[in-house]
Amino acid sequence: MQFNSIEFIFFFPFVAACCFSLPPHAQRVWLLLASYLFYMAWNPFYILLIWISTLTDYGVARAMENHTDKRGRRKWLYVSLCINLGLLFAFKYANLAGDALTQAGLWIGVDWNVPYLDILLPVGISFYTFQTLSYTIEVYRGNQKAERSLVDFALYVAYFPQLVAGPIERPQHLLPQLKTPKYFDYDRVVSGLRLVLWGIFKKVVIADRLAVMVNVIYDQPERYPGSFLTLATVFFAFQIYCDFSGYTDIARGCARVLGVDLMKNFNRPYMATSIRDFWRRWHISLSTWFRDYVYVPCGGNRGSTAAWALGLFAVFLLSGLWHGANYTFVVWGLLHFGYYLFGRATHPLRSRLVHALGLTKVPGLLPILQVTTTFVLVCIGWVFFRAESMGQAVYILSHLHERWFDLSPNGGFKGIVASLDLSVRAFALNIGLVCGLVVAEGLIRDREPGEWLGDLPMPLRWAGYTVLGLLIMNLGLAEEIPFVYFQF
């Protein structure tokens, strides 16, 4: 069941209405059952994986509390890591490992012929695996008490608003909120529904419309000139942002209606002035997860330069692998690692260059240059993220500069647009939507869209609701396109 489906339009109000009418303990049982039903709408069989993770980490945490020594607790932590990461590896990375073994065998003259496993990736397995691991790690560190109620912990693992695509929550933040009695709060409901409205707009109007053009060009990049390859890459940058942040807005909005505040997962990432700043703004729950559970244990900023680089390398390698079992994701992650290294190594030189050129003397010039440069670097990374193979990514990057204005082989501008299954008007609309989003985020700044909209005078506020609703009904695609991050 997807947030942008007809089923969810009926599912969520029914779940919320029943929740508000039940006593506190029954509310949690009801939300757990609703969460399981929500997940089973994709594939009933894969609910078994959630149950395995839930029962494993519930038991592991209780066992860890019985050990005062770290060695005893560590053994149980390893049990959690092995079972959870083992399931993740089996369903997500087995074929990648098999391919790597096959290639290694060919290099040494051995034909291993590792069989290919034709299995469907469970929706959201990367998200709920990391969320339940954060619980066992926090219990191991002594920052979280083991949960006594199996129902409450099971709800923490499977809470439906953020089950399949995050945000990846921490137990200290989410568990107490799940235990709090739920009641109808008009202000919370309105605030949550504003977020839902904004998220649906970003998904079905902007992301899905941009996806049409991006998919056609990336499926056959050799048919298009460099200007359209570049435009498709920029469009993909906004497609994936609106798709993923749109999901997060809907998730946070639904949770807020139900009395739970999920963490903010995006903060205008394309306004970042550096790659480091970008990762403070993009997929914040995953970035902080890797920071706390990989980067800091490796030494973080406290160790030597070598330890810092090793920790950073591990973070970006794992981040790439977390996103998918394809070499393109690994290269995407390592490319950002390279950006980090280059940025740190050249920082003194760039600072001197900025002062020598007098860039700080012109108000606003330096931030514009920094934001533009960062966006270009991020878009280069998105080519690997979106491409089906390394060969396709290399082809696109090597042809971005070619035939920018020579469109005659493709039948001119109108011929290219027609090949994208778009009219010239629809093509212009896509550009307008991207520009409109940039302007809107510039106006809203660090505030939530719903909060900003709620502070407007009532006539303007209702005008905003009406405009968003009309845009969704008239410009939203009828086809139900899955959220991009569901594949992770």
The string of pLDDT tens digits covering residues 447-464 is 887 788 888 888 888 898
Residue located via tokens 């990461």: 85
Q: What is the mean pLDDT of the chain?
A: 89
Distance CA 141, CA 463 (A): 50
Percentage of the chain beyond pLDDT 90 is: 62
Residue 483 pLDDT = 84
Residue 260 pLDDT = 97
Long-range contacts of 346-352 (CB under 8 A, 24+ apart): none
The pTM assigned to this predicted structure is 0.92
Of 147, 199, 196, 156, nearest to 178 by C-alpha is 156
**pLDDT (mean) for 301-327:** 88
pLDDT band at 116 (very low <50, low <70, confident <90, very high): low
Residue 6 pLDDT = 86
Of 211, 137, 287, nearest to 483 by C-alpha is 211
**pLDDT (mean) for 218-222:** 91
Q: Which tokens belong to 310?
A: 């090793």
In the predicted model, is pLDDT for residue 478 greater than 80?
no
Distance CA 168, CA 134 (A): 9
Residue located via tokens 């933040």: 173
State the catalytic residues.
323
CA dihedral 400, 403, 408, 411 (to 10 degrees): 0
Amino acid type, 427: F
Distance CA 80, CA 56 (A): 7
C-alpha Rg value of the chain to the nearest Å: 24
Residue 108 pLDDT = 73
Which residues, 6+ apart, have CB-to-CB distance to 175 below 8 Å?
Answer: 147, 152, 153, 156
3-state secondary structure the chain: CCCCCHHHHHHHHHHHHHHHCCCHHHHHHHHHHHHHHHHHCCCHHHHHHHHHHHHHHHHHHHHHHCCCCHHHHHHHHHHHHHHHHHHHHHHHHHHHHHHHHHHHHHHCCCCCCCCCCCCCCCCCHHHHHHHHHHHHHHHHHCCCCCCCCHHHHHHHHHCHHHCCCCCCCCHHHHHHHHHCCCCCCHHHHHHHHHHHHHHHHHHHHHHHHHHHHHHHHHHCHHHCCHHHHHHHHHHHHHHHHHHHHHHHHHHHHHHHHCCCCCCCCCCCHHHCCCHHHHHHHCCHHHHHHHHHHHHCCCCCCCCCHHHHHHHHHHHHHHHHHHHCCCHHHHHHHHHHHHHHHHHHHHHHHHHHHHHHHCHHHCCCHHHHHHHHHHHHHHHHHHHHHHCCCHHHHHHHHHHCCCCCCCCHHHCHHHHHHHHCCCCHHHHHHHHHHHHHHHHHHHHHCCCCHHHHHHCCCHHHHHHHHHHHHHHHHHHCCCCCCCCHHHHC
For 93, 106, 224, 414, the CA distances from 115, given in Å and listed in that order, are 13, 15, 37, 47
pLDDT band at 406 (very low <50, low <70, confident <90, very high): low
In the predicted model, is pLDDT for residue 443 greater than 90?
no
Instruction: List pLDDT tens digits, range 46-95.
Output: 999 999 999 999 999 999 998 888 888 999 999 999 999 999 998 888 77
pLDDT band at 104 (very low <50, low <70, confident <90, very high): low
CA dihedral 293, 294, 295, 296 (to 10 degrees): 40
Residue 117 pLDDT = 66
**pLDDT (mean) for 151-165:** 96
Residue located via tokens 């981040």: 319
Residue 419 pLDDT = 67
